[in-house]
């Protein structure tokens, strides 16, 4: 296992720590003379996990260590992290549930499109809108984590979440357009070719059947002759 893949797996292990730190409101960590409350602890965990997302991709490209398992695990780790943060914020009543459902639903929809495209041999690459959406998610969730205890940040945090929703919908539309333009046309063309091949096979089978009937004489018209009278 190389370092980029290890960072990706580490990001997955950060997910339960983030949930535990955020949901347990009485968590306090003593760092010398300082007291770190749960919102600061959850923020530190979330930002550390988000930093591993940037680092593992950079190292994989820099060291040419892009692997199949890393390609598969990286988006899963990202979605687990974002989904866990959003659901935990709904649990502590800091975020409306419909916002979390909309963002998480978008992630699953885009993942489904990419899976279908991969089966068809077409890769839907991450767009600039998708990258902007991810950055806005990190900023908005970080602000929302602090707003759990510091209510003055609640209004700007919700405003940032609206920005996240805007970019999420916009990037989802972009992915759907790529899918329909490339993959759907390819699927229709392949299905049309399959139907044509089936029709040709049916026609050939029908012609063979007619040929076999003619060979036995059953297909020819029989002329009736009256019996000879002696």
In whole angstroms, what is the distance from residue 172 CA to residue 146 CA?
28
pLDDT of 35 strictly over 80: no
Q: How far apart are CA 212 and CA 206, in angstroms?
A: 10
Q: What is the pLDDT of residues 56-65, one digit of tens each?
A: 878 888 888 7
- Return the higher-pLDDT residue of 200 and 213: 200
Residues sharing a CB contact under 8 Å with residue 5, sequence separation 6 or more, in sequence order: 56, 65, 67, 69, 70, 73
Residue keyed to tokens 């059947």: 209
> Taking Cα atoms as reference points, which of 84, 80, 79 lies closest to residue 168?
79
All structural domains of the chain: 3-186 (1.20.120.1760)
pLDDT band at 118 (very low <50, low <70, confident <90, very high): confident
pLDDT(45) > 80? yes
Residue range 162-173, pLDDT digits in tens: 999 998 898 888
Rounded mean pLDDT, 66-87: 85
* 100 pLDDT above the threshold of 80: yes
Token pair of 172, please?
């989802």
pLDDT of residue 217: 55
Give the integer Cα–Cα distance in Å for 59 and 210: 67
User: What would the mean pLDDT of 119-123 be, rounded to a whole number?
Assistant: 69
Those residues with Cβ within 8 angstroms of residue 79's Cβ, 6 or more apart along the chain or in another chain: 104, 107, 108, 111
Chain centre to alpha carbon of residue 202: 40
Task: Give the distance from CA 216 to its chain's centroid.
Answer: 61
pLDDT, mean of residues 113-124? 73
Q: Which residue has the tokens 């991450």?
A: 126
Residue 206 in this model has a pLDDT that exceeds 80 = yes
Q: Where are the alpha helices (DSSP H) in 94-153?
A: 97-119, 128-147
Indicate the pLDDT class of residue 126, thresholds 50, 70 and 90.
Answer: low
pLDDT tens profile 134-155: 889 999 999 999 998 888 888 9
């Amino acid at each position: 296992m190389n370092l980029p893949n290890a960072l990706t797996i580490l990001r997955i292990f950060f997910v339960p720590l983030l949930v535990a730190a955020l949901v347990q409101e009485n968590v306090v960590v003593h760092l010398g003379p300082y007291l770190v409350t749960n919102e600061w602890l959850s923020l530190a965990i979330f930002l550390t996990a988000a930093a591993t997302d940037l680092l593992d991709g950079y190292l994989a490209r820099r060291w040419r260590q892009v692997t199949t398992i890393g390609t598969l695990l990286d988006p899963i780790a990202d979605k687990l992290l974002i989904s866990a943060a959003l659901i935990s914020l709904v649990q502590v009543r800091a975020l409306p549930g419909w916002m979390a459902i909309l963002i998480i639903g978008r992630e699953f929809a885009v993942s489904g499109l990419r899976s279908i495209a991969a089966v068809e041999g077409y890769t839907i690459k991450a767009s600039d809108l998708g990258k902007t959406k991810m950055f806005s998610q990190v900023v908005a969730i970080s602000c929302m984590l602090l707003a759990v205890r510091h209510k003055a940040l609640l209004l700007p945090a919700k405003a940032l979440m609206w920005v996240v929703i805007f970019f999420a919908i916009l990037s989802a539309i972009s992915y759907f357009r790529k899918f329909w333009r490339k993959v759907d046309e390819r699927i229709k063309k392949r299905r049309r070719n399959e139907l044509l091949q089936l029709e040709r096979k049916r026609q050939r089978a029908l012609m063979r059947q007619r040929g076999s009937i003619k060979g036995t004489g059953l297909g020819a018209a029989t002329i009736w002759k009256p019996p000879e009278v002696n």
